């Protein structure tokens, strides 16, 4: 393994699940829960979709960054409509890797780009504030339960 490959494979500490939310239907308020079951199609009770976008995640640290770009306090997770908010680990560094989140194993696939509704939800500049900070989509490799406080860490 090259030195660069070793650096890329490294990580400092496990992350932690800080918030879990379900989107029962399009354009309805998210339901905050303390735990959920992650199935192949996404979180049970969420309107998510199977495949490479089954679960959406965002870093807790990015909520403050998005708020700062808007001249506000940290953005509330339900506004961005991601399923999981995690802290303490760089999600971008986990792209393409197998990651254990609670009992489930996910693979981060593509960025979760902002949609045009960010202007509606956050005001003028909302779309641009979320760019590069909107989180990641993941496919489910092994279903399992996830709860607040669970570790988030690479499997390999």
pLDDT (tens digit per residue) in 58-100: 999 999 999 999 999 999 999 999 999 999 999 999 998 999 9
Per-residue pLDDT, 52: 86
- Is the pLDDT assigned to residue 13 strictly greater than 80? yes
In the chain, the domains with their CATH numbers are 3-154 (2.40.33.20)
pLDDT digits (tens, 9 = 90+) for 109-137: 999 988 888 999 999 999 999 999 999 99
Q: What is the pTM of this model?
A: 0.92
Per-residue pLDDT, 7: 85
Torsions phi, psi for 60 (to 5 deg): -55, -40
Query: What gap in Å lies between CA 5 and CA 10, rounded to an integer?
Result: 9
Please state the separation of Cα 151 from the chain's center in Å: 14
Q: Which residue has the higher pLDDT, 17 or 48?
A: 17
Q: Evaluate the CA torsion angle 133, 106, 21, 23 in order and state its sign.
A: positive
Per-residue pLDDT, 1: 82
Per-residue pLDDT, 86: 98
> With contact defined as beta carbons under 8 Å apart, do 125 and 70 qualify?
yes
Tokens for 98?
Answer: 């197998």
The predicted model gives 19-25 an average pLDDT of 93
């Amino acid at each position: 393994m090259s030195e660069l490959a070793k650096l890329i494979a490294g990580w400092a500490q496990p992350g932690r699940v800080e918030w879990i939310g379900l989107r029962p239907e399009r354009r309805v308020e998210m339901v905050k829960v303390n735990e959920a079951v992650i199935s192949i199609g996404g979180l049970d009770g969420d309107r998510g979709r199977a495949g490479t976008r089954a679960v959406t995640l965002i870093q807790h640290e990015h909520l403050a960054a998005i708020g700062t770009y808007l001249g506000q306090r940290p953005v509330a997770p339900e506004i961005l409509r991601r399923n999981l908010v995690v802290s303490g680990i760089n999600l971008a560094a986990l792209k393409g890797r197998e990651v254990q989140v609670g009992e489930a194993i996910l693979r981060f696939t593509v960025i979760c780009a902002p949609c045009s509704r960010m202007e509606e939800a956050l005001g003028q500049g909302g779309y641009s504030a979320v760019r590069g900070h909107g989180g990641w989509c993941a496919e489910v490799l092994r279903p399992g339960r996830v709860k607040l406080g669970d570790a988030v860490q690479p499997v390999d």
